Amino acid sequence: MSADEKPSSVDRIEDIAQTETGQTTPPDDYDEEFTPEEQKRIIRRIDLRLVTMTGLAYCISLMDRTNLSAAAIAG
């Protein structure tokens, strides 16, 4: 890098590819997909959050139905 060049930013993927290879565009073999391990981690995190929130919503719904039926009987 010469003295008059600005250091490149790493905020964008094009800048990262440029700093590593000297190219202005990502290389042809660059793949923006996730690796299988990353896919498994992402799906597991989504599943855990989704199942937790669904279970919580079901519990609240069950308590609501139980309280409504008790309130109807009590008058």
16-45 in b/e form (b: 16+ CB < 10 A) is ebbeeeeeeebeeeeeeeeeeeeeeeeeee
Considering the domain architecture, whether residues 42 and 72 belong to the same structural domain is answered as: yes
Considering the domain architecture, whether residues 74 and 43 belong to the same structural domain is answered as: yes
Q: What would the two tokens of residue 12 be?
A: 């964008």
Considering the domain architecture, whether residues 40 and 69 belong to the same structural domain is answered as: yes
**22 backbone φψ class: left, alpha, beta (φ>0; ψ -120 to 50):** left
Reported as a single tens digit per residue, the pLDDT across 37-64 is: 999 999 999 999 999 999 999 999 999 9
Please report how many Cα atoms fall inside a 13 Å half-sphere around the Cα of residue 3, on the Cβ side.
Answer: 0
pLDDT of residue 30: 60
Domain housing 60:
36-75
Its pTM stands at 0.47
Number of domains in the chain: 2
